[in-house]
């Protein structure tokens, strides 16, 4: 009897031990291993597309990048106590940032994109099954996304070359990370070094990308192209006061004849088109089907009179800048209580605005970049004709070819597209506003203030002792 029992037990044990390694192996089901992703042609292709995705996040172009910067200037206006006040974007409007409450989403979002493209760039050369031309186009897309990420990082968390800030940390940019390293605790590079990296990435991208390359998607302008690379180069050069490059790259876009200015008649509809219009060079294609769609916190819901919140209104300072005949005046509407609202993000559908593309680069900026560069000494074009091109297309009188003229046209043309804050900062001008909500809201920010650079998020200091906070803010 005993013998049988022992036999039974050992047989059972033998059965259960068999295949126990298989039994204990459960592979992820809804995700794919990084080995598979980075070492196959399909995986690399998917990883390149994936890197665009976070641009749509509410922490970046999906909302906060535009709204944080506009609300800190005289373009933005909160209307406290009204039906379109939900308490959002109060810190921005009050210029009241702390390392805890700072605009933290861009830091994590931009470095996430940087890490994603760094992984692709590190592995792509070893991948078989991709032809050289495809590899080059993929690399160019990655380099463009990296340059764009560093450009936004360095302007938000650091001060541009032309800043008049008296901050002690004026030269500090952001850490440059070019290869995947999970243990790195990098210190901040200088602003110059970051711009050098941006220009290096853009030069390389320009040389690698086939000029006819266009990735297919719902909206072709939602992906990088050679013109997007030129446009970013033009703006980055302008910000870093490399006037000739700013003008030359603007010229490359303008003379490509791929883009043309919207007419005064087209303008009111231009911003709510589903697919990038004729003036658009690169935009973030927004849709509820995007993984990073910001939903309730989208730029439409925060700005449109039809939006759910409508915290981010327009000031009469901006409205009053436009002449009556200026087509751009019609891009400012009103909330039900009469408060001004921008209509640049009024939504692509009807009813509740659920999505709106966010234009990152468009043609009129190229004219303005070139005009400003020329006024600052660049050659090869005429500031008068560039400023006239814009004014004529919009039905406005032409501004003089002076710095103040180009600044004013730039403000009117690019209002609510995330420019004014950086334009003031990089040209060392004060921010002043007259139409403000209550005495507690600062009506100006001197050009010398430390506040032109956002504080770096406090969580980074907790994990990276090599980092230094911007002057004026504490590290905790």
Question: Which residues, numbered 434-463, are part of the site for other proteins (CB under 8 A)?
Answer: 437-441, 457-460, 462-463
- Cβ closest to other proteins, residue 83 vs residue 207: 83
The tokens 């590899």 sit on which residue? Answer: 135
Site residues for other proteins, 1-20, by CB under 8 A, read 1-2, 5, 8-9, 12-13, 16, 20
Cβ closer to other proteins: 324 or 440?
Answer: 440
Of 31-39, 190-198, 244-252, 415-423, which part binds other proteins (CB under 8 A)?
31-39
Shortest distance (Å) from residue 352 CB to other proteins = 6
Q: Which of 248, 317, 354, 372 binds other proteins (CB under 8 A)?
A: 354
The Cα 272–Cα 274 span in angstroms is 6
Specify the residue, 33 or 320, whose C-beta has the smaller distance to other proteins.
Answer: 33
Q: Are 295 and 308 in contact (CB under 8 A)?
A: no
Question: Exposed (0-12), middle (13-18) or buried (19+): which is 363, by Cβ within 10 Å?
Answer: buried
For residue 219, state whether it binds other proteins (rule: CB under 8 A). yes
**DSSP codes, 281-301:** EEEEPP-TTSTT--GGGSHHH
Task: Rank residues 114 and 232 by Cβ distance to other proteins and give the closer one.
Answer: 114
- Nearest CB to other proteins, comparing residues 129 and 438: 438
Q: Which of 43, 313, 353, 418 binds other proteins (CB under 8 A)?
A: 43
Q: How far is the CB of 216 from other proteins (least distance, A)?
A: 8
Contact indicator for 49, 292 with CB cutoff of 8 Å: no
CB of 31 to other proteins, least distance (A): 4
Smallest gap, in angstroms, from Cβ of residue 303 to other proteins?
16
Cα Rg of the chain (Å, integer): 25
Q: Which member of 150, 195, 223, 422 binds other proteins (CB under 8 A)?
A: 223
For other proteins, which residue of 3, 14, 81, 255 counts as binding (CB under 8 A)? Answer: 81
For position 201 contacting other proteins by CB under 8 A, the verdict is: no
Q: Which one of 64, 168, 170, 185 is in contact with other proteins (CB under 8 A)?
A: 185
Q: Please, which of residues 310-349 interact with other proteins by CB under 8 A?
A: none
Residue 436 Cβ, how far from other proteins at the closest point, in Å? Answer: 12
Q: CA 325 to CA 386: how far, in whole Å? A: 20
Out of 52, 249, 259, 416, which residue is the one contacting other proteins (CB under 8 A)? 52
**Contacts by 455-463 with C-beta closer than 8 Å and gap 24+?**
455/97, 455/98, 455/99, 455/102, 456/99, 456/102, 456/107, 456/157, 457/99, 457/102, 457/104, 457/107, 457/108, 458/99, 458/100, 458/102, 459/104, 460/107, 461/99, 463/185
Q: What are phi and psi of 371, to 5 degrees?
A: -60, -45
Interacting residues with other proteins between 362 and 391 (CB under 8 A)? none
Return the structure tokens found at 356: 């709106």
35 lies in the site for other proteins, by CB under 8 A: yes
Task: By CB under 8 A, tell whether 23 contacts other proteins.
Answer: yes
Q: How far is the CB of 454 from other proteins (least distance, A)?
A: 15
Which of 3, 14, 29, 338 contacts other proteins by CB under 8 A? 29
**Residue from 299, 306, 313, 312 nearest 352 by CA:** 306
- x/- map, 118-137, other proteins, by CB under 8 A: xx------------------
46 Cβ contact partners less than 8 Å away, ≥ 6 residues apart: 37
Nearer to other proteins, 16 or 382 (CB): 16
For 370, list phi and psi in degrees, rounded to 5: -70, -45
Q: How far is CA 404 from the centre of its chain?
A: 26
Cβ 194 to other proteins, closest distance in Å? 13
- CB burial of 337-353 (b: ≥16 within 10 Å; e: otherwise) equals eebbbbbbbbbbeeeeb
| Residue selected from 129, 212, 291, 338 as contacting other proteins according to rule CB under 8 A | 291
* Rounded (5°) CA angle 391-394-396: 55
Nearest distance from residue 112's CB to other proteins, in Å? 5
Residue from 56, 167, 301, 399 binding other proteins (CB under 8 A): 56
Beta strands 313-314; 431-432: pairing state:
unpaired
Write the CB contacts of 462 (distance below 8 Å, at least 6 apart in sequence).
Answer: none
Which residue lies nearer to other proteins by CB, 153 or 431?
A: 153
Closest distance to other proteins from the beta carbon of 143 (Å):
16
Q: Is 260 in the site for other proteins (CB under 8 A)?
A: no
- For other proteins, what does the binding mask look like between residues 96 and 115, x meaning CB under 8 A? x-x-x------xx--xx-xx
Backbone angles phi, psi at 427, to 5 degrees: -105, 5
């Amino acid at each position: 009897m005993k013998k049988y029992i022992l036999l039974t037990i050992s047989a059972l044990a033998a059965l259960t031990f068999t295949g126990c390694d298989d039994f204990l192996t459960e592979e992820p089901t809804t995700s794919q291993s990084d080995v598979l992703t980075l070492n196959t042609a399909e995986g690399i292709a998917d990883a390149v597309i994936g890197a665009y995705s976070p641009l749509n996040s509410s922490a970046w172009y999906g909302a906060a990048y535009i709204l944080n910067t506009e609300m800190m200037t005289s373009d933005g206006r909160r209307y406290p106590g009204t039906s379109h006040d939900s308490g959002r974007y109060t810190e921005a409007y009050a210029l009241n940032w702390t390392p805890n409450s700072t605009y933290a989403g861009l830091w994590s979002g931009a470095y996430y994109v940087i890490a994603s493209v760094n992984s692709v760039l590190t592995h792509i050369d070893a991948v078989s099954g991709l032809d050289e031309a495809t590899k080059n186009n993929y690399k160019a897309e990655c380099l463009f996304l990296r340059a764009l990420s560093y450009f936004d990082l360095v302007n938000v968390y650091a001060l541009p070359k032309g800043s008049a800030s008296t901050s002690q940390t004026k030269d500090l940019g952001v850490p440059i990370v070019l290869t995947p390293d999970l243990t790195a605790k990098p210190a901040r590079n200088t602003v110059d070094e970051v711009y050098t990296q941006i220009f290096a990435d853009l030069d390389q991208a320009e040389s690698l990308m086939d000029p006819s390359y266009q990735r297919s998607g719902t909206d072709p302008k939602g992906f990088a192209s050679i013109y997007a690379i030129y446009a970013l180069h033009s703006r980055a050069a302008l910000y870093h006061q490399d006037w000739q490059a700013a003008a030359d790259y603007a010229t490359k876009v303008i003379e490509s004849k791929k883009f043309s200015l919207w007419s005064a008649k087209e303008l009111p509809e231009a911003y709510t088109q589903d697919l990038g219009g004729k003036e658009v060079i690169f935009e973030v294609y927004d849709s509820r089907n995007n993984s990073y769609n910001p939903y309730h916190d989208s730029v439409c819901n925060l700005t449109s009179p039809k939006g759910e919140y409508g915290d981010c209104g327009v000031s009469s300072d901006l409205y009053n800048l436009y002449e009556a005949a200026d087509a751009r005046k019609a891009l400012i509407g009103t909330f039900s209580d009469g408060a001004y609202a921008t209509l640049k993000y009024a939504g692509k559908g009807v009813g509740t605005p659920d999505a709106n593309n966010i234009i990152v680069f468009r043609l009129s900026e190229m004219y303005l970049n070139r005009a400003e560069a020329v006024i600052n000494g660049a050659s090869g074009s005429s500031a008068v004709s560039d400023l006239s091109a814009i004014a004529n297309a919009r039905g406005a009188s032409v501004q003089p070819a002076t710095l103040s003229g180009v600044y004013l046209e730039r403000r009117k043309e690019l209002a609510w597209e995330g420019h004014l804050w950086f334009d003031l900062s990089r040209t060392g001008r004060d921010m002043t506003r007259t139409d403000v909500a209550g005495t507690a809201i600062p009506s100006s920010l001197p050009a010398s203030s430390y506040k032109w650079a956002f504080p770096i998020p406090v969580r980074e200091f907790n994990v990276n002792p090599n980092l230094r906070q911007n002057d004026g803010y504490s590290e905790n």
